[in-house]
Amino acid sequence: MESIERVVLEGGDVYTDTSGLPGVGRTRILLSSVKEYLNQQGNEKAYALIIDTNGDLNLHDTGDDIVMERVKYIRILSITSFLATMIALPGYIDSQPFDIKLVAIDTISNYIRYPDIKQSEKMSVMSSLKKTINKLNTEMAVKVLSTSDAILRKAEDASTASTSSASDQNHYIGGFFGSHFYQSLRFRQLQIYYEPGNSHTRIMKVLKDNSDTSYKYTIDFAQTLNNTLFKRNSTYVASIFVGTFAFGIGYDVLTTSIWDKNNAGKQWPDVRAKILAAGGSDDE
């Protein structure tokens, strides 16, 4: 069976976005796809650039430090810095002494999805995204990958929907980008969703693909644990504190229980009644 990373990397120098609900594993697939790309024959000297719009991506869980030495990282913390980064990205790549052949953005929809962001700012970001991605793909032969949030769409766009992700007769959970991206870019939209009734199985569908191709793959316990706790620094650090606190309490309870069992009948609560009955006192 074809690996899910190879599905993501298909299409040559084309922009591929992987959309899905939170926790479905899209960031994990993005990182493993970057690693797969750098490991492919002919890419031994290629570099990748990861743009993290959440600001807390953990790159140390890929398991291949040698390959990840060829990954450059940019952290984004605001819509202003995201817009500036996307505008300057082609020039930045051109100015580097190494050959950046892959750009991966996690999560590209982060500064577009919120309703409190002005429409003018959203349009500015979208316009810059399309211009930059188009230049990277067509003029610089740089492959672009991204992840995005799946959103609720109206049923008239059902040609891009997955039947397993339908929410009702009038709406469905679909990819983040609409038809305008298909029309203006060399673009592939992938969507990941849970297989109904099986929390460990995911289905990836290629949207807007005439073959209506779907791929099924399994997330094992280790991957689920990684996605939940270790993928991002914020949850990773929090899990360390919680785990340390829980371990401390558990260790204290366990050692106290062992001590009480081994010294049963010898401790003050056990002999207090006998001493008092013999005429002693608590002060003796």
Domains of the chain, with CATH numbers? Answer: 4-231 (3.40.50.300), 232-284 (1.20.5)
Prediction pTM value: 0.69
Overall average pLDDT of the 190-195 stretch: 81
Which has more confidence, 166 or 60? 60
Overall average pLDDT of the 179-206 stretch: 76
**Whole-number Å distance between alpha carbons of 210 and 218:** 25
CA 56 to chain centre: 10
pLDDT of residue 199: 65
Q: Which of 103, 115, 118 is nearest to 37 (CA)?
A: 103
**Whole-number Å distance between alpha carbons of 41 and 118:** 45
What's the Cα-to-Cα distance from 203 to each of 34, 144, 174, rounded to whole Å? 20, 22, 13
Indicate whether 216 pLDDT > 60: no
Interior CA angle at 72 toward 65 and 176, to 5°? Answer: 105
pLDDT of residue 90: 95
72 burial class (0-12, 13-18, 19+ CB within 10 angstroms)?
middle
The token pair that represents 258 in the structure block: 């062992």
148 burial class (0-12, 13-18, 19+ CB within 10 angstroms)?
buried
Overall average pLDDT of the 128-142 stretch: 91
Indicate whether 163 pLDDT > 50: no
pLDDT tens digit sequence for 225-265: 555 555 566 666 777 888 888 888 888 888 888 888 888 87
Alpha helices in the chain (DSSP H): 4-9, 26-39, 65-68, 79-95, 119-138, 179-184, 221-225, 233-262, 268-277
The token pair that represents 112 in the structure block: 């577009």
**Whole-number Å distance between alpha carbons of 119 and 113:** 11
Overall average pLDDT of the 204-210 stretch: 67
* Percentage of the chain exceeding pLDDT 90: 19
